Chain A
Amino acid sequence: MTRSRHWPSLRTLIHLLVLRPLLRLLFGVSVEGRENLEGLGQFIVAANHNSHLDLPLLFGVLPVRAIAETRPVAARDYFERRAVLFQLVRYLFSPVWITRGGPTEDALAAMRDALDQGKNVIIFPEGTRGTPGEMRPFRSGVGRLAEAYRDVPVVPFFLHGPERALPKHSAVPLPIWNRVVIGPPRRFTAGCTDIAAALERMVRELSQSETAHRHRRVQRSGRCLTVAVLGIDGSGKSTLSRRICEELSKRNRVLRVSDELEFYHEGSCTTLRSLPSEKVRQALARYTKTAKSLKHYKIPKLAELLLRDHLLGEVRRWHAPEIAVMDGSPLINMTAWARLYKEELHDPKIAGAAIRVLSGRDENLHDSAESLLRVPELSVMRRLRITRLHLPDAVVMLDVDPAVSMERIRRRGERVQAHETEDKLARLREGYLMVCEVVRSEFATPIRVLEGNLDLDRLTSATLEFIAEIDRPEARHVQ
Chain B
Amino acid sequence: MSLDAPSSAILIGFVVLSILLVLHKASRPRFPLDHYVPYVWAFFLVFNVAEFWSFEVAIWVLALLCFVSLKEFFTLVDIRWQDRWAVLGAYAAIPFTIYFIQIDWYGMFIISVPVYAFLVVPFLVALGGRETRGAVLSIGIIDFGLFLFVYCVGHLGYLALYSSWKALVVILGVIVSDLVATLVQSGRRPGLGRTSFRCLISIPLVAGLYWALADWTGIGTLHSVALGALTPILAAIGRYTIAYIESDLGVERESAVPGKGRIVDTLRSFVYVSPVAFHYVRYFEL
Q: Which residues of chain B have C-beta atoms less than 8 A from A167's C-beta? A: 81
Contact B259 A174 (CB under 8 A): no
* Cβ contacts B208-241/A at 8 Å (1 or 0 each): 0000000000000000000000000000000000
Find out whether the CB atom of B259 lies under 8 angstroms from the CB atom of A175: no
A319 (CB) vs chain B CBs: closest residue: B132
Instruction: Tell whether A175 pairs with B67 under 8 Å between CB atoms, given A216-B78, A313-B130.
Output: yes
> A298 within 8 Å of B by Cβ?
no
**CB <8 Å contact, B75 and A176:** yes
Check: B74 CB closer than 8 A to any chain A CB: yes
Determine which of A28, A29, A161, A174 lies in contact with B68 in the assembled complex, contact meaning CB atoms within 8 Å.
Answer: A28
Q: Which residues of A contact B72 (CB under 8 A)?
A: 28, 177
- A228-264 vs B, CB cutoff 8 Å, 1 = contact: the mask equals 0000000000000000000000000000000000000
Give the residue of A27, A215, A313 whose beta carbon is less than 8 angstroms from that of B248: A215
CB neighbours of B76 from chain A (8 A): 215
Contacts of B252 in A (CB 8 A): 213
**Contact across chains for B260 and A215 when beta carbons are under 8 A apart:** no
Residues of B within 8 Å of A161, CB to CB, are 75, 259
B258 interface neighbour in A30, A175, A216, A220, Cβ under 8 Å = A30
CA distance A341 to B79 in the complex (A): 45
Could you tell me the distance between the alpha carbons of A176 and B81 in the complex, rounded to whole angstroms?
13
B132 touches A320 (CB 8 A): yes
Task: Give the contacts of A179-217 with B (CB-CB under 8 A).
Answer: 179, 212-217
- Chain A residues near B77: list those with CB within 8 A: 215
**Total of A-B residue pairs, C-beta within 8 Å:** 70
> Which of chain B's residues have a CB closer than 8 A to the CB of A220?
133
A172 touches B130 (CB 8 A): no
Q: Does B124 count as interface, using CB distance less than 8 angstroms?
A: no
- Is the CB–CB distance between B249 and A316 below 8 Å? no
* A360 CB within 8 Å of chain B: no
A contact residues, total (Cβ < 8 Å): 31
Chain B residues whose CB sits within 8 angstroms of the CB of A164 once the complex forms = 75, 79
State whether the Cβ of B87 lies closer than 8 Å to any Cβ in chain A: yes
Return chain A residues, CB-CB under 8 Å to B132: 317-318, 320
Q: Which residues of B contact A30 (CB under 8 A)?
A: 257-260
Please tell me if the beta carbons of B71 and A176 are within 8 angstroms of each other in the complex.
Answer: yes
User: Chain B contacts of A217 at CB under 8 A?
Assistant: 78, 134, 137
Known A28-B68, A175-B67, A215-B248; contact A132-B81, beta-carbon cutoff 8 A: yes
Residues of chain A within 8 A (CB-CB) of B249 are 215
Q: Which residues of chain A have C-beta atoms less than 8 A from B133's C-beta?
A: 220, 320
Please state if B84 and A172 are interface contacts (CB–CB under 8 Å): yes
Of A170, A216, A314, which one neighbours B84 at CB under 8 angstroms? Answer: A170
- Do A215 and B87 touch across chains, with their CB atoms under 8 A apart? no
Given contacts A30-B257, A215-B78, whether A174 and B131 have CB atoms under 8 Å apart is no
Pair B78/A314 contact, Cβ less than 8 Å: no
CB neighbours (8 Å) of A177 from chain B are: 71-72, 75, 258-260
Nearest to A167 among chain B residues (CB) is B81
Residues of chain A contacted by B259 (CB below 8 angstroms): 28-30, 161, 177-179
In the assembled complex, B88 has its CB within 8 A of some CB on chain A: yes
Docked complex Cα distance between A318 and B260 (Å): 36
Closest chain-B Cβ to A25's Cβ sits at a distance in Å of 8
- Does B91 lie at the interface of the complex (its beta carbon under 8 Å from any beta carbon of A)? yes
* Cβ-defined contact, B258 with A214, below 8 A: no
Docked complex Cα distance between A318 and B133 (Å):
11
Contact A174:B260 (CB < 8 A) given known A217-B137, A313-B130: no
CA distance A116 to B29 in the complex (A): 42
B residues less than 8 Å from A216 (CB atoms): 78
Q: Which of A139-181 contact B (CB under 8 A)?
A: 161, 164, 167, 170, 172, 174-179
Is B250 in the interface zone, CB < 8 Å from A? yes
The distance in angstroms between the C-alpha atoms of A317 and B127, with both chains bound, is: 12
**Chain B hits for A172, CB < 8 A:** 84, 88
Bound CA–CA A177/B262 (angstroms): 12
Additional A-B contact list (16), CB under 8 Å, known A172-B84, A174-B87, A215-B77: A28-B71, A28-B72, A28-B259, A132-B81, A161-B75, A164-B79, A174-B74, A175-B91, A177-B71, A177-B72, A177-B258, A215-B249, A217-B134, A317-B132, A478-B131, A479-B130
Which 5 A-B residue pairings sit nearest by Cβ, starting from the closest?
A213-B250, A177-B259, A177-B75, A317-B130, A30-B259
22 residue pairs bridging A and B, Cβ less than 8 Å apart: A28-B68, A28-B71, A28-B72, A30-B258, A30-B259, A164-B75, A164-B79, A170-B81, A174-B88, A175-B91, A177-B260, A179-B260, A212-B250, A215-B77, A215-B248, A215-B250, A217-B137, A317-B130, A317-B131, A317-B132, A318-B132, A320-B132
